[in-house]
């Protein structure tokens, strides 16, 4: 029997996109499977109650249960560090590793690694989030040494509603930000159907598209020694930065 590769994904409770999309991306890798642990996330805003969803305790509760499956890696398949600050994910990975003994990664840290590795500093951001969330993310990226040259967002409080945004609308948002000629487009939300549109948007625009469901899977596969080029049809990320 081929040795199995078991990937854990910490998942917002109201999310319905990342699980089927992740499974679809892994469909050509029979030895790799993804396993999901949920914790409560119902709203994305800067209200205290919404921010409290992302304290360490619920993450670690879910991570401990995932760890029972003897996983190779645990990923936070979410984007909260975009507005909480990227250090939040650095600390979270350390806490997960200390709690479970399993290496950890996140969607946002993976996205930033990709942008740094490729040297793509002029970026555009596409998301469904509220004005206040988008403004904070743009400020955090600018402060981190990137130049956000364009953005589009839908001013939606979510989180379940993000899953009902059509692929066509996401494509239009990408086309709009492409007019500013970014070096990369980041689709930031793990309950929005960005990953399925990445390949065709890239072909239409000639600009790399990095979706945050894809970025955490890319990182998890690299951490477990799986050649990411085997993930085909989901964008240039898996071909360009393979391991």
Q: Which of 51, 136, 59, 141 is nearest to 93 (CA)?
A: 59
Whole-angstrom distance, CA of residue 154 vs CA of residue 129: 6
pLDDT bucket at 189, cuts 50 / 70 / 90: very high
List C-alpha distances in Å: 12 to 112, 146, 197.
21, 27, 22
What are the beta bridge partners of residue 105? 75
Q: Which of 203, 200, 131 is nearest to 170 (CA)?
A: 200
Where in the chain are the domains?
5-108+213-232, 110-210
**Structure tokens, 7:** 């990937």
Q: Is the pLDDT of residue 125 over 90?
A: yes
Whole-angstrom distance, CA of residue 9 vs CA of residue 34: 7
pLDDT in tens, 211-242: 999 999 999 999 999 999 999 999 999 999 87
pLDDT bucket at 243, cuts 50 / 70 / 90: low
**Structure tokens, 36:** 């999901």
CATH of 110-210, one of 3.20.20.220, 3.40.50.1860, 3.40.50.150, 3.40.190.10: 3.40.50.1860
At residue 241, the pLDDT reads 81
The answer, as to whether pTM is greater than 0.85, is yes
Q: Is the pLDDT of residue 148 over 80?
A: yes
At residue 161, the pLDDT reads 96
């Amino acid at each position: 029997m081929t040795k199995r590769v078991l990937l854990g994904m910490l998942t917002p409770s109201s999310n319905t996109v990342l699980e089927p999309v992740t499974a679809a991306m892994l469909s050509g890798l029979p030895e790799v499977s993804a396993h999901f642990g949920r914790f409560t996330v119902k709203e994305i805003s800067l209200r205290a109650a919404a921010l409290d969803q992302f304290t360490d305790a619920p993450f670690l509760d879910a991570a401990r249960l995932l760890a029972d499956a003897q996983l190779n890696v645990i990923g936070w398949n979410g984007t909260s560090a975009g507005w909480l600050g990227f250090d939040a994910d650095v600390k979270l990975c350390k806490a997960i590793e200390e709690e479970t003994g399993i290496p950890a990664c996140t969607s946002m840290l993976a996205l930033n690694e990709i942008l740094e590795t490729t040297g793509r500093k002029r970026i555009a951001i596409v998301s469904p989030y509220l004005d206040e969330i988008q403004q904070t993310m743009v400020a955090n990226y600018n402060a981190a040494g990137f130049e956000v040259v364009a953005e589009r967002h839908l001013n939606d409080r979510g989180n379940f509603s993000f899953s009902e945004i059509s692929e066509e609308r996401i494509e239009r948002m990408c086309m709009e930000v492409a007019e500013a000629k970014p070096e990369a487009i980041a689709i930031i939300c793990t309950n929005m159907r960005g990953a399925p549109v990445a390949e065709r948007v890239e072909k239409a625009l000639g600009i790399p598209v990095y979706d945050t469901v894809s970025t955490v899977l890319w990182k998890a596969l690299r951490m477990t020694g799986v050649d990411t080029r085997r993930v085909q049809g989901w964008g240039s990320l898996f071909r360009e930065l393979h391991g």
